[in-house]
A and B are shown apart, each in its own frame.
Chain A
Amino acid sequence: MALGKEEVEQIAHLARVAVDADDIPDYARNLSDILDFVEQMNAVDTADVEPMAHPLDMAQRLREDEVSEPDQRERFQAIAPAVEAGLYLVPKVID
């Protein structure tokens, strides 16, 4: 699978990662190499194989629906880039 410039830009947009225009050709080449490499998987017929999502066939544990963690908002917001009145600040989203 060879990826072109537009495809790399589209993937970078989906991932919300800014990529310098100068670096796009390198990413296109590297990603194409990686996709070619992983496509070696196609050598094996897996039509009847059950997918394995997790190494141990374990069920999700359930617990009572009760508060088990203390409120640590101030601690967690102390490391945030921008907060005000207990809220995280982001650029204006609605004009």
Chain B
Amino acid sequence: MHEKTIAELAAGLKAGEFSSEELTRSFLERIERLDGGLNCYITVTAEAALEQAREADRRIAAGEAGPLTGVPIAHKDIFCTEGVRTSCGSRMLDNFTAPYDATAVARLKEAGAVMLGKTNMDEFAMGSSNETSFYGPVKNPWDTAAVPGGSSGGSAAAVASRLAPGATGTDTGGSIRQPAALCGITGLKPTYGRVSRWGMIAFASSLDQGGPMARTAEDCALLLSGMAGFDRRDSTSAERDVPDYTATLGDDLKGLKIGVPTEYFGEGLDPEVKQAVQTAIEQYKGLGAEVVEVSLPHNELSVPTYYVVAPAECSSNLSRYDGVRFGHRCDDPQGLEDLYKRSRGEGFGPEVKRRILVGTYALSAGYFDAYYLKAQKMRRLISDDFRKAFEQVDVIMGPTAPTAAFDIGAKTDDPVQMYLSDLYTIAVNLAGLPAISVPAGFAGGRPTGLQIIGNYFDEARLLNVAHQYQQATDWHKRTPEGF
């Protein structure tokens, strides 16, 4: 059963080929047997999952099932889940049991999806390799010496290793798309504001966006339909209707205009990744698309810009962890300031501290204009590049990440090198656009991804464009050996 996609599982459940309880048991058994070597899950909620599965079976029997009813999924441990530990990959929240469900979690629960557990991630979503997690690194199922990418690395590795048919992720600078590419799965970062941020632990609030991770674009369409929509509890939630993302998957691509940015194929791009992406773009011509060159001249400066904006917002957001209301508290505090400092010093790992310090510095008196204001101006230029490109084309294509998965430990001593793994994903967050990564081949035996960027709220088109590619190729069907 674990070989099936969400769409196939939904059909099987509806036809009575297996029950949700049987299906859920089979995934729990796989997690028990295989996750020890991968570390995808921080928490497995076996009992609650079986209870939800039995409830789903009742709904299916009563004819009240939707497309996700009874389908097991995993949630990134950044989404609050009522009564279940929500650690955000941090010692700071190791003892934190969320008192409520995030909106995205509540919506998927209402749709009848069964939660298998909470997936591992870089601490507070700050990382590109899953190595900053308090719970240890996740291993890439294609090669356990390699990282799965990050920060949604647990979700990506769980889907790739068939320890969940689908999962939620969040993407602030590439954290859905980059691990999706490195693990050979499909991951969609929706338009900023499309999926509610309520109950999704904040990192950089003007960039954070939740989205689906699964094997296929069709499955991402099903999950996004279950997650997306206006939420009055999120002040930046988009007040727009949610289309049926599966309705247009079958549309043909005749006349589709694809923009290929020259800047995405320059220095730093691995030749094998480049080859795979160019082959994929060629295949789109065969599907009826027209390819034109476009330019995103400020892309190179998107990473420096991001490493001002994101740490600044992070330093502000993470000031809530003070050892007073929830989370880690140091022993025997000598006064309030000592309580704050030691609780935070002990609760946060090195990368989170680095970003808090950079952000604090960038926002401090005398430096605000030189860093934060400058970065916001750069953000406008980066966003304008996309606006101009989308006057000519329907979608933009290029690599998701400059290389395939690197080895665990290869970049941990050099933060700036690690940051450059998000060279092609970060500008999308700064602009607030949607983008999807689809499996597009291998480089050095490890998976690589094609990134497709769309205009605002054009998720249906992205899913259609990705789905059509998956009808013509089988990269998304490949399974890592042993899983």
Contacts and interface: CB of A to CB of B under 8 A. Distances in A.
Interface of A: 3, 8, 11-12, 14-20, 23, 27, 30-31, 33-35, 37-44, 46, 49-56, 58, 60-61, 63, 72, 75-76, 78-82, 88, 90-93
B345 interface: yes
A31 B356 contact: no
Interface stretch (B178-186, B270-278, B371-379): B371-379
Contact of A46 (B95, B326, B378, B415): B378
Give the one of B95, B97, B236, B338 with max A CB within 10 A.
Answer: B236
A63 B357 CA distance: 36
Given A49-B380, A54-B432, A56-B236, 18 more contacts: A14-B360, A15-B344, A16-B337, A16-B340, A17-B341, A17-B357, A19-B345, A31-B354, A38-B304, A40-B301, A41-B305, A49-B378, A51-B376, A54-B206, A55-B383, A56-B238, A76-B326, A90-B324
Contacts of A51: 373, 376-377, 379-380
A17 B345 contact: yes
Contacts of B301: 40-41, 43-44
B356 A52 contact: no
A72 B341 contact: no
A80 B334 CA distance: 19
A4 B173 CA distance: 29
Contact of A91 (B322, B338, B358): B338
Given A31-B358, A34-B416, A41-B301, A80 B324 contact: yes
Interface in B192-251: 192-193, 206-207, 232, 235-236, 238
A23 to B, nearest CB: 8
A55 B341 contact: no
B147 interface: no
A41 B383 contact: no
Given A31-B357, A79-B326, A46 B377 contact: yes
B192 A11 contact: no
A17 B308 contact: no
A92 B334 CA distance: 9
A91 B238 CA distance: 42
B152 to A, nearest CB: 20
Given A41-B374, A56-B432, A34 B326 contact: no
A52 B301 CA distance: 15
Considering residues B326, B414, B431, B456, which has the most beta carbons from chain A within 10 angstroms of its beta carbon? B326
A42 to B, nearest CB: 7
Contact of B235 (A37, A39, A60, A75): A60
Interface of B: 95-97, 99, 192-193, 206-207, 232, 235-236, 238, 298, 301, 303-305, 307-308, 315, 319, 322-327, 329, 333-342, 344-346, 348, 350, 353-354, 356-358, 360-361, 364, 371, 373-381, 383, 414-416, 419, 430-433, 456
A43 B97 CA distance: 46
A67 B354 CA distance: 39
A95 B472 CA distance: 74
Contacts of A30: 354, 415
A75 B415 CA distance: 39
Contacts of B236: 54, 56, 58
Contact of A35 (B325, B344, B358, B378): B358
B377 A19 contact: no
A75 B100 CA distance: 10
The 5 closest A-B pairs by CB, nearest first: A55-B432, A18-B345, A51-B376, A46-B377, A81-B329
Given A31-B357, A37-B307, A51-B373, A91 B383 contact: no
A34, A79, A88: most-surrounded residue (chain B CB, <10 A): A34
A80 to B, nearest CB: 5
A23 B414 CA distance: 15
Given A11-B357, A41-B305, A16 B329 contact: no
16 contacts: A11-B357, A11-B360, A17-B353, A23-B350, A30-B354, A31-B361, A38-B375, A44-B301, A46-B378, A51-B376, A52-B376, A52-B380, A52-B383, A81-B327, A90-B336, A93-B335
